[in-house]
Structure 1
Amino acid sequence: MDSLNPDHPPLVETPALPRVWKFWGTALWGLGIFFAMFVGQLGAVVLLVGLRGLPMDLASVQVVGREPQALALSVIMGLPATLAAVWLAIRIKKASFADYLALYWPSWRQFLLGAAGLLLTVLAWEVVSRSLGREATPGFMTNLLKSGRDNGAALLMLFAFSVAAPMSEEVLARGFLFRGWSESFLRVPGAIILSSLVWTAVHLQYDLYFLAEVFSIGLWFGYMRYRAGSLWLTILLHALNNMTAVVLTMWLGS
């Protein structure tokens, strides 16, 4: 048998590495994924406008979109749209969805390290905010969350901002974008920085001060995504950060 013949060793198939979108492919697909997220969010508001029998125009969409319940629902509906677009991009490359996004559970040690770094980052910004006489939370978010609480949408908003938003944003930034860009000429450091910038751009409703805070948190999430090799870790950290902010604002804040 050839398998026992040293002159004819058995052939060993080397498993092919998963195909990954590189810099421009990741960038273009990232735009498409963001557009899909936007369409999903907008579609939820348009649906509410139709169900209420309001005129289907921009004014009605703007009015309904400002309501806490509608905003929470739009954030929730952005999640399936984001996942569908990411799945399509990965499917075209014939790669595993879980492998491409590093959907692996972290260890407790990795989670505690990530949480500790997040806590230190948030506390540092809290100290800076107090020294500058600034609010630790954007005023419009405080008003939105408290309005949702008073109008019976507290749990819906808690789910939207603590589950749906972290999953959508992490799948896009630390999942799809980081994976592709880290295997391009940017390598890991460039991918962490650029994906953090994109994540920060998603929060353009904030002023420059809060955008700087978001960017610094994004850098820490990116580092933990690389160190742990787990997107679930950054999803959990993101959810923890948002849930703490929502709970403190809606129920414990003055």
Structure 2
Amino acid sequence: MEEETRPVESQTEEPPGSPWGGWATLGLTAGILFIFVAVSLLIGALFGLVAALEHHKTTMHSIERLIHSRAGLVMALSVLGSAPIGFGVTLLLATLRKNYPLKEYLGFRNVPIRVFLEWLLLLIVFIACWDLLTYALGKPIVLEKMIQAYKTARFLPLFYLAIVVVGPIFEETLMRGFLFQGIRSSPLGATGAVVVTAFLWALLHMGYGAYGFLQILLAGLLLGIVRLRSASTYVTIGLHMFMNMVATIETAVVIHMR
């Protein structure tokens, strides 16, 4: 009686990979954000030290005033220094999952330009409706915090690069890429991924107050839906860049009108 044999391919074929688990994803995301914040604070401290030595400031109060007068520049330098590191750590952690393609994990997928334009149109409607609501409620469309950052940016091209380009690339790769896919593969599923990423993203912007938190939460839910429907983080990166560009231009307009 002949012994039944299986094809060699079936014996050596590796099982398909998967993202980090839900809890592991949350923990690793917290670690990435910790690194991002730590590097940002370090850059701010180094800037303050160098500026203090240059201007012969010796007291903590005078150093704080010096940093405050250049808050926008410090913000830009912090983002430009910390975001690439956070982005790199995110890529590294994603590549540690064997047999799971990096592009699939982080949603690095090209889509037809028509798809992007359709979502962009929806985002424009969202921004317009929110600005109209904000105006009707008598609230400022541009927060004073953003105005002061813009005024103290010193070198606007650097400010735009940080806020409109570098920041969104890192945030979307982490939030709608790494975190989204990990939560989506957990028992929370796709709906949980949309909600959790939006909520955590809004928490990162608590400095904008309760109303600003609500705006960012809703924008995050929209970006999560876009990520789910388009299967592409490239789309959410583009939309995030557009949102930040609009916010920055609105800031410039408000300053010009004063």
Q: In 2, Cα distance between the equivalents of 1:159 and 1:144?
A: 14
Q: For residues 63 and 26 of structure 1, do their structure 2 counterparts lie closer, same or farther at Cα, with a shift above 3 Å needed?
A: farther
Where in structure 2 are there 5+ consecutive unaligned residues?
none
Q: For residues 186 and 125 of structure 1, do their structure 2 counterparts lie closer, same or farther at Cα, with a shift above 3 Å needed?
A: same
For 1:83, give the aligned amino acid.
F
Q: Which residue of 1 aligns with 2:183?
A: 181
Q: CA offset at residue 164 of structure 1?
A: 1.4
Alpha-carbon contact 1:188-1:226 (below 8 Å) kept: yes
Q: Which residue of 2 aligns with 1:210?
A: 212
Q: In 2, Cα distance between the equivalents of 1:250 and 1:176?
A: 33
Q: CA offset at residue 107 of structure 1?
A: 1.6
Name which of 61, 67, 71 aligns with 2:71: 67
Q: Which residue of 1 aligns with 2:171?
A: 169
Moved more, 80-89 or 159-168: 80-89
Q: Which residue of 2 aligns with 1:86?
A: 90
Q: Which residue of 2 aligns with 1:241?
A: 243
Moved more, 195-204 or 125-134: 125-134
Alpha-carbon contact 1:36-1:85 (below 8 Å) kept: no
Alpha-carbon contact 1:174-1:225 (below 8 Å) kept: yes
Q: CA offset at residue 84 of structure 1?
A: 2.5
Q: CA offset at residue 75 of structure 1?
A: 1.2
Q: In 2, Cα distance between the equivalents of 1:219 and 1:55?
A: 47
Alignment map for 1:109-148 (pairs within 5 Å): 109-148=114-153
Q: CA offset at residue 139 of structure 1?
A: 1.9
Q: In 2, Cα distance between the equivalents of 1:114 and 1:43?
A: 37
Q: In 1, Cα distance between the equivalents of 2:59 and 2:191?
A: 46
Q: In 2, Cα distance between the equivalents of 1:103 and 1:87?
A: 11
For 2:67, give the aligned amino acid.
V
Moved more, 61-70 or 97-106: 61-70
Aligned length: 245
Q: In 2, Cα distance between the equivalents of 1:56 and 1:76?
A: 28
Q: In 2, Cα distance between the equivalents of 1:35 and 1:135?
A: 31
Alpha-carbon contact 2:183-2:190 (below 8 Å) kept: yes
Q: In 2, Cα distance between the equivalents of 1:17 and 1:35?
A: 31
Alpha-carbon contact 1:27-1:177 (below 8 Å) kept: yes
Alpha-carbon contact 1:104-1:230 (below 8 Å) kept: yes
Q: CA offset at residue 9 of structure 1?
A: 7.3
Q: Which residue of 1 aligns with 2:113?
A: 108
Q: For residues 15 and 220 of structure 1, do their structure 2 counterparts lie closer, same or farther at Cα, with a shift above 3 Å needed?
A: farther
Alpha-carbon contact 2:134-2:140 (below 8 Å) kept: yes
Q: CA offset at residue 57 of structure 1?
A: 7.1
Where in structure 1 are there 5+ consecutive unaligned residues?
1-6
Q: For residues 226 and 56 of structure 1, do their structure 2 counterparts lie closer, same or farther at Cα, with a shift above 3 Å needed?
A: farther
Percentage identity across paired residues of the two chains: 26
User: For 2:206, what is the secondary structure of its paired residue?
Assistant: coil
Name which of 72, 76, 80 aligns with 1:76: 80
Alignment map for 1:24-39 (pairs within 5 Å): 24-39=23-38
CA-to-partner distance for each residue in 1:34-55, whole Å, 9 max, x for gaps? 0011122122212323433366
TM-score by length of 1: 0.87
Alpha-carbon contact 1:64-1:70 (below 8 Å) kept: yes
Q: In 1, Cα distance between the equivalents of 2:37 and 2:238?
A: 23
Q: CA offset at residue 20 of structure 1?
A: 1.1
Name which of 184, 192, 195 aligns with 1:193: 195
For 2:76, give the aligned amino acid.
A
Q: Which residue of 2 aligns with 1:49?
A: 48
CA-to-partner distance for each residue in 1:6-38, whole Å, 9 max, x for gaps? x87745445532231111000100100100111
